[in-house]
């Protein structure tokens, strides 16, 4: 009887979770880069549906989506109308998708050690930049 009551109490939680849509993303990367796959796995483990698209035209994709060379990461992700450049932590990514600012996207330039998908220890805070019209501005520091 206790099991039945517990199941009945937890049942609505299961339906709520099953009804939520996964956030769908396309991640463009150099075919030889393995840290990009690790970043995609990080996102998948946190509820995102990520399709990895290896390409030899990554610089073209970055230009098409307005990513300045100085703010480029090792991969470019398109999600819900935004461009996300590099190994952006989940907190900033979720903030972008929740607040929906009027910008092109966000970037964590380079390949910082300890960022999601990268090995090593984090040695300094990650500065995530806002990509939009004009000069990129700081979006978040994590």
Domain ranges of the chain: 2-141
**Tens digits of per-residue pLDDT, 55-66?**
999 999 999 999
- Greater confidence (142 vs 34) lies with 142
The domain defined by 2-141 folds into Glutaredoxin (3.40.30)
- The answer to whether the CB of 53 falls within 8 A of the CB of 79 is no
C-alpha pair distances (Å), 9 with each of 16, 20, 68: 13, 19, 51
- Report whether pLDDT(6) > 70: no
> Would you state the pLDDT for residue 135?
84
> Would you state the pLDDT for residue 118?
92
Task: State the number of CA atoms in the 13 A half-sphere of 71 facing the CB.
Answer: 26
Mean pLDDT, the chain, integer: 86
- The answer to whether the CB of 47 falls within 8 A of the CB of 94 is no
Task: Specify the 3-state DSSP secondary structure of 118.
Answer: coil
Least confident of 3-7, 66-70, 80-84, 94-98: 3-7
pLDDT band of 33, cuts 50, 70, 90: confident
Least confident of 17-21, 33-37, 126-130, 133-137: 17-21
DSSP-derived secondary structure for 26-82? EEEE-TT-SHHHHHHHHHHHTTEEEEEEE-S-HHHHHHHTT--GGG-BSEEEEETTE
- Greater confidence (45 vs 6) lies with 45
Predicted TM-score of the model (pTM): 0.82
Distance between CA 52 and CA 61 in Å, rounded?
14
Report residue 45 as tokens: 């483990």
What is the share, in percent, of the chain residues with pLDDT greater than 90?
A: 74
């Amino acid at each position: 009887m206790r099991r039945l009551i517990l199941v009945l109490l937890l049942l609505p939680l299961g339906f709520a979770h099953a009804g939520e849509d996964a956030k769908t993303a396309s991640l463009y990367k150099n075919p030889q880069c393995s840290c990009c796959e690790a970043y995609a796995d990080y996102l998948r483990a946190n509820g995102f549906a990520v399709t990895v698209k290896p390409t030899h035209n990554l610089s073209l994709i970055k230009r098409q989506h307005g990513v300045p060379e100085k703010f480029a990461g090792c991969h470019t992700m398109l999600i819900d109308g935004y461009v996300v450049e590099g190994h952006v932590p989940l907190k900033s990514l979720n903030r972008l998708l929740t607040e929906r600012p009027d910008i092109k996207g966000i970037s964590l330039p380079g390949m910082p050690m300890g960022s999601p998908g990268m090995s090593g220890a984090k040695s300094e805070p990650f500065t995530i930049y806002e990509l939009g019209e004009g000069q990129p501005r700081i979006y978040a520091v994590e």
